[in-house]
Structure 1
Amino acid sequence: MEKQEFSVGESSTKTKKSECTEEKFVWPWVGLVANIPTVADDSGRRVGRSGSTLRDELIQKGFNPTRVIPIWNFKGHSGFVLVEFAKGFKGFENAMNFERSYRSDGHGKKDWEKGARLRDDKPYGWVCREDDYKRSGIVGQKVKKKRDLKSLSQLQEEEERKMFHLVKNMSQSIDMKILSKQELEHKVDETSRVLESVELHNYQLNEKYKQEVEKTQANLRDQYQQIMIGHEKSMTDLETERQKLENRARQIYINEAEMEKSRLEIEMNQKAMLEQNEANMEAMKLAEKHQKEKEKLHEKLMEMEAKLNETQELELEIEKLKGSTNVMKHMADGDVELMEKMAKTQMELEAREAALHDKIMSLTQKERMANDEFQEARKEMIQFWNENEDLVSGEQIRVKRMGHLDTKPFVVAVKKKLRGGSRAKAELKAMELCSFWEGQIGNVHWYPFRVDESDGIAKNVVDNNDEKLVKLTDAYGEQLYNEVVRAKMEIVEYNPSGGYVVSELWNFEKNRKATLEEATDVMLKIRKKVVTMKNKRKRH
């Protein structure tokens, strides 16, 4: 913000005066026009031209008054009017141009004060000063009402004091933002270290699980080989016994009792062979079941290796590990040593699961807190940008209203459609059309998009068959269609449930959401600029 300097033109002096002798003006700036023509109405009361008519005449002359107020007394219109101007530098410049215009035409304040016999019937005008403020009568009362006397140096001091406080407050705010940024960076570093620790622990747990599965698979292979060896040995023993019984039967030729005994022994041997065959079949089925369980374990291992880097699915993986442990427990039925080992492994897994779950919960809470602080910082920066638009107007990082419609394409499209029509009519129609589509964009029930997965990634694309968009394109063309689609896409992305426009820090150079670091750099740049301006004023 630049320092305002006030110049009074011919009435100012180049040398500095002390405050007690410096010319004082009525502030806010006000001019006085005298000798306004008046006539008597039927009741004898004096009337004159209205303030709005005089204001329009002064505006046409380029003086830009904010209001013109006729002064009335008990007789009616007094012939005087007050001309109010804006408070700032531009208002003072307009007021002095107003005074110079009357003075150059021989109708200034000095010309008015020469006396009634030297005046003509034209209006006289000037800017009110201390003598006008202290004037008696109805004119002096109206001039003093809600106004004060101030010199130009006093006004400049007030502006400098306001600028000093503004710069000071902004500097303190920037310092606080820098501290907050440093704290957030510290928290981010701490969160990164925790994540690295969790990742290392996941890797170690994965390696331990691989070792346990490989060991279990080796035990299954040993058990299967032992079953096959025992089966072959049993078959060999039974075959040897069968041959012995057959040889003995050949030797028994007379004794019927011996023959019957031999027959019974042969039948028992055959029955034992049948039972052994059934046992062999069960063993083969059990071996096949173990093979299938091994294949399932291998598939589960491959699935876990693909998901171990995602901590969100850790609980599911542990449940699968528990299921695998139950399968091994079933296979180890009757083996006391293996069952005790499996129970110990189960307890260790449960302990690790609880510890890892606590770490994940703590990490999630810290991440949520850090994210909340980042969002709060963005809200404060957006508020700062909105309150200091003059300071950030030239920066690439500015506030963008997501979902807001630009009225320019509407005006262009309507003018193109209404060829030969008046400009005012086209602009009115454009405003009505823009207002209608703002309502459609905020309507959460209107969703002119569809999901496209042609490239393997689900994304929202415009539904070219949407009835409202088709009518809009046919009526007003592609440019207006693109503007409506852009605004609707921003609403769907940034506020799908509310449907109203939201503010966001935006990098207009790269056409994307601005990062917190980029916004902070801009704030530091603004602070440096303000400090430089302050130092220049001190040197002068």
Structure 2
Amino acid sequence: MEKQKLSLGDSSGETSEVKRSVCTEEKFVWPWVGLVANIQTEVDKTGRRVGRSGSTLRDELIQKGFNPTRVQPIWNFKGHSGFALVEFTKDIKGFENAMNFERSYKSDGHGKKDWEKGVHLRDDKPYGWVCREDDYNRSGIVGKNVKKKRDLKSVSQLQEEEERKMVQLVENMSQSIEMKMISKQELEHKVDETSRVLQSVEFHNYQLNQTYKQEVEKMQTNLHDLYQQIIIGHEKSMSDLETEREKLENRARQICIDEAEMEKSRLEIEMNQKAMLEQNEANMEAMKLAEKHQKEKEKLHEKIMEMEAKLNETQELELEIEKLKGSSNVMKHMADGDVDVELMEKMAKTQMELEAREAALYDKIKSVTQKERMANDEFQEARKEMIQFWNENEDLVSGEKIRVKRMGQLDTKPFVVAVKKKLRGGSRAKAELKAMELCSFWEGQVGDVHWYPFKVDESDGIAKIVVDNKDEKLIKLKDAYGEELYKEVVRAKREIVEYNPSGGYVVSELWNFEKNRKATMEEVTDVMLKIRKTVVAMKNKRKRR
């Protein structure tokens, strides 16, 4: 919606016409409507008068450049009355088309004054003019149709109404922006609180990890001491048995003459050998137990190394839980040995505590994520409203650095330059026509979602999207029309891929043309507040007059 000031037309004739309308407070029928009179009719077989259809008249007026939205013939009880209403759009462009429509008929001697003088009685050409107050108050079927769903308004009244609407729109948008900014600040505060909670949990997890490592080291020390005690006991037992064996052998040598004594000694020696065998078996069992503890120790060490590697790959909370599970499994394997029951109970309690903290933390993160998604949806909706405001008020924002950019739309200038350079010596009209055809073709190519002239380049260790130099379409375009046209097509396709890869059509975006990037909501808000201040100042100045 354009702002309706005195710039209702570009030509000097239009400007003088509008100034005269404003000065005399001439009232027009609103929405703009023209009246065509003296339409030739004839009597059909039924006795009713018929004439040219509204669509036929509309097409003729469109060809003349007046662009009406609808042409409605006026019918009475006899049939076609010879009159027709020509409706135009409600904006400034519609007013310009209506005035051009009236001037066309007036310059040809078929205006309203010519009709009122009775000139139409001498020819069969149609007469036309824009409906004003006298047409609105006309009696009969023509006046009745002109009044239908229409009103009388001056240009200045329409200007004031549009300015009031504009001020109200800016005020509403400003209030909406302020509310959204407050909501954003609240969300940021909640995110900060969540970050502090996460830091506290992370520190607590670190402390638990350190405690766990200390307990594991203590358990390894206890296993090593047990192993040493078993070896020392084995060596002492072997030494005692060896000493006893030597004593028995000496005694056997001393009593070898006494057969009875010898038999007794033999029995004692056998008993001693049997005891040594039993002791050896006991020592073997002790060695097996020591080896078992050593293997458990090695497995535990491997488990610790594995868990330390996982610590760098997964989230801290999940690692802590896996560590506790691993520790529980190690304890289960060692259930037949000497196990610190207090340590196992402590590890189980720690695991339960971590699981509870994990569930609470996930719930909090889920809640914050949902609120952040809702805030993002609200910001996207506000951005769409901003784009609509910019499109409808181009005259207000034309001088600002923040304007609407149609992402993926091709610029026709490089096409015209490239075609003229290629068709040297040809006519300008032919070159421009060829450029428009070429631009239309490449608009279709850019919007084709199946054409993707890019590839992923990881030559420097960082994955990035680059143009595929082997793409046949781009190669042919570059060879035929040069580097500048090639760059323009690549730019438009990049924007389509970035902003609407699935749809492939042009989308509007608020753009900072000074910094050549997407405009932030803060920048857009600053421009809105600036516009609001300007509009309010204009309104106050008009009231003082």
Structure 2 length normalisation: TM-score?
A: 0.74
Change in CA separation of 1:259 and 1:127 when aligned onto 2, cut-off 3 Å: same
1:495-531 alpha-carbon deviations (Å, 9 max, x no partner): 9xxx9999998989999999xxx34543444344344
Contact 2:101 2:129 (C-alpha < 8 Å) held by counterparts: yes
Change in CA separation of 1:196 and 1:96 when aligned onto 2, cut-off 3 Å: same
Q: Which residue of 1 aligns with 2:273?
A: 270
Contact 1:25 1:129 (C-alpha < 8 Å) held by counterparts: yes
Change in CA separation of 1:374 and 1:149 when aligned onto 2, cut-off 3 Å: closer
Secondary structure at the counterpart of residue 66 of structure 2? coil
Contact 1:382 1:503 (C-alpha < 8 Å) held by counterparts: no
1:193 corresponds, among 196, 203, 207, to 196
Query: In 1, Cα distance between the equivalents of 2:508 and 2:104?
Result: 49
307-316 or 156-165, which moves further after superposition?
307-316
Contact 1:71 1:78 (C-alpha < 8 Å) held by counterparts: yes
Query: In 2, Cα distance between the equivalents of 1:295 and 1:529?
Result: 75
Secondary structure at the counterpart of residue 20 of structure 2? coil
Change in CA separation of 1:313 and 1:370 when aligned onto 2, cut-off 3 Å: farther
Query: In 1, Cα distance between the equivalents of 2:116 and 2:130?
Result: 14
Q: How many Å apart are 1:132 and its aligned residue?
A: 0.8
1:320-377 alpha-carbon deviations (Å, 9 max, x no partner): 12223334554316xxxx44x3355345424533553354344433443344334433
AA of the residue aligned to 2:76: N
Residue 35 (str. 1) matches residue 27 (str. 2): no
Query: In 2, Cα distance between the equivalents of 1:503 and 1:277?
Result: 89
Matched residue count? 498
Alignment of 1:106-255 (within 5 A): 106-115=109-118, 120-255=123-258
Change in CA separation of 1:189 and 1:67 when aligned onto 2, cut-off 3 Å: same
Secondary structure at the counterpart of residue 13 of structure 1? helix
Q: Which residue of 2 aligns with 1:322?
A: 328
Change in CA separation of 1:355 and 1:141 when aligned onto 2, cut-off 3 Å: closer
Residue 9 (str. 1) matches residue 16 (str. 2): yes
Alignment of 1:441-456 (within 5 A): none
Q: Which residue of 2 aligns with 1:303?
A: 306
Change in CA separation of 1:455 and 1:85 when aligned onto 2, cut-off 3 Å: closer
Q: How many Å apart are 1:226 and its aligned residue?
A: 1.0
Contact 2:54 2:71 (C-alpha < 8 Å) held by counterparts: yes
Secondary structure at the counterpart of residue 254 of structure 1? coil
Contact 1:325 1:342 (C-alpha < 8 Å) held by counterparts: no
Change in CA separation of 1:512 and 1:271 when aligned onto 2, cut-off 3 Å: farther
Contact 1:31 1:84 (C-alpha < 8 Å) held by counterparts: yes
77-86 or 238-247, which moves further after superposition?
77-86
**Which structure 2 residue ranges, 5 or more long, are not aligned?**
9-14, 416-432, 480-485
108-117 or 220-229, which moves further after superposition?
108-117
Query: In 2, Cα distance between the equivalents of 1:400 and 1:100?
Result: 36
117-126 or 173-182, which moves further after superposition?
117-126
Query: In 2, Cα distance between the equivalents of 1:134 and 1:94?
Result: 23
Change in CA separation of 1:232 and 1:345 when aligned onto 2, cut-off 3 Å: same
Query: In 2, Cα distance between the equivalents of 1:274 and 1:502?
Result: 94
2:531 corresponds, among 529, 533, 537, to 529
Contact 2:33 2:98 (C-alpha < 8 Å) held by counterparts: yes
Q: How many Å apart are 1:454 and its aligned residue?
A: 12
Q: Which residue of 2 aligns with 1:88?
A: 91
Query: In 2, Cα distance between the equivalents of 1:82 and 1:317?
Result: 85
Query: In 2, Cα distance between the equivalents of 1:488 and 1:15?
Result: 46
Q: How many Å apart are 1:207 and its aligned residue?
A: 0.8
AA of the residue aligned to 2:20: T
Change in CA separation of 1:10 and 1:198 when aligned onto 2, cut-off 3 Å: closer
Secondary structure at the counterpart of residue 132 of structure 1? helix
Query: In 2, Cα distance between the equivalents of 1:213 and 1:504?
Result: 62
Q: How many Å apart are 1:134 and its aligned residue?
A: 1.1
Query: In 2, Cα distance between the equivalents of 1:214 and 1:179?
Result: 53
Q: Which residue of 1 aligns with 2:430?
A: none
Query: In 2, Cα distance between the equivalents of 1:30 and 1:505?
Result: 36
Contact 2:167 2:532 (C-alpha < 8 Å) held by counterparts: no
Contact 1:506 1:512 (C-alpha < 8 Å) held by counterparts: no
Q: Which residue of 2 aligns with 1:376?
A: 377
Query: In 2, Cα distance between the equivalents of 1:262 and 1:397?
Result: 116
Secondary structure at the counterpart of residue 266 of structure 2? helix
Contact 2:30 2:151 (C-alpha < 8 Å) held by counterparts: yes
Contact 1:51 1:69 (C-alpha < 8 Å) held by counterparts: yes
AA of the residue aligned to 1:175: E
**Which structure 1 residue ranges, 5 or more long, are not aligned?**
413-421, 442-449, 465-469
Change in CA separation of 1:317 and 1:532 when aligned onto 2, cut-off 3 Å: farther
Change in CA separation of 1:121 and 1:344 when aligned onto 2, cut-off 3 Å: closer
Q: How many Å apart are 1:253 and its aligned residue?
A: 2.2
Q: How many Å apart are 1:378 and its aligned residue?
A: 4.5
Change in CA separation of 1:521 and 1:245 when aligned onto 2, cut-off 3 Å: farther
AA of the residue aligned to 2:537: N
1:44-100 alpha-carbon deviations (Å, 9 max, x no partner): 654444433433333333222222233333444333222222111111111112222
Secondary structure at the counterpart of residue 331 of structure 1? coil
Q: How many Å apart are 1:314 and its aligned residue?
A: 3.1
Q: Which residue of 2 aligns with 1:345?
A: 346
1:372-404 alpha-carbon deviations (Å, 9 max, x no partner): 334433543454356446179998898999xxx
Contact 1:31 1:82 (C-alpha < 8 Å) held by counterparts: yes
1:189-211 alpha-carbon deviations (Å, 9 max, x no partner): 01110111111111111111111
Change in CA separation of 1:357 and 1:40 when aligned onto 2, cut-off 3 Å: closer
Query: In 2, Cα distance between the equivalents of 1:494 and 1:192?
Result: 34
1:134-173 alpha-carbon deviations (Å, 9 max, x no partner): 1112222222222221122221222122212211211111
After TM superposition, where is structure 1 displaced by more than 6 Å over at least 4 residues in a row? 391-401, 405-408, 422-435, 450-457, 470-479, 485-491, 499-514
Identity of aligned residues (%): 57
Q: Which residue of 1 aligns with 2:337?
A: 331
Q: How many Å apart are 1:106 and its aligned residue?
A: 3.2
AA of the residue aligned to 2:354: E
Query: In 2, Cα distance between the equivalents of 1:240 and 1:76?
Result: 144
